[in-house]
Amino acid sequence: DTGVSQDPRHKITKRGQNVTFRCDPISEHNRLYWYRQTLGQGPEFLTYFQNEAQLEKSRLLSDRFSAERPKGSFSTLEIQRTEQGDSAMYLCASSLIRTGHTEAFFGQGTRLTVV
């Protein structure tokens, strides 16, 4: 499968623990996005990178959240001191920015459950 890959697919953690998710975008895609989706809602934008630069962060992204894309390829999303409200599906998407083509391809997501 050459699409966007996310790991792990599922994560159960105790409240207060730290978790880290990984996203491998489609090769050569220069933009990478993180979204969060809770039950019954559409995906909500969290942050995005162009190459290794983090260009925008949503107000949804509290200080406990940090994302990196150190070499402009894969990205990690870390949540520190998890809370029950962090339980959600975390989606990653990537796109190649060029004139007239900005389709975003999504991964299958990481489902986080905080108990």
Closest approach, Cβ 19 to another protein, in A, equals: 21
Q: 79: how many CB neighbours lie within 10 A of its CB?
A: 23
Closest approach, Cβ 33 to another protein, in A, equals: 6
Can you name the residues that pair with 54 across neighbouring β-strands?
A: 49
Binding positions for another protein, rule: CB under 8 A: 3-4, 31, 33, 35, 40-45, 48, 50, 55-56, 91, 93, 95, 97, 102-109
Backbone angles phi, psi at 3, to 5 degrees: -80, -170
Closest approach, Cβ 56 to another protein, in A, equals: 5
Looking at the Cβ atoms of 18 and 41, the one nearer to another protein is 41
Query: Which residues, including other chains, have CB under 8 Å from residue 59's CB and lie 6 or more apart?
Result: none
Enter the DSSP assignment of 3: S
Looking at the Cβ atoms of 21 and 35, the one nearer to another protein is 35
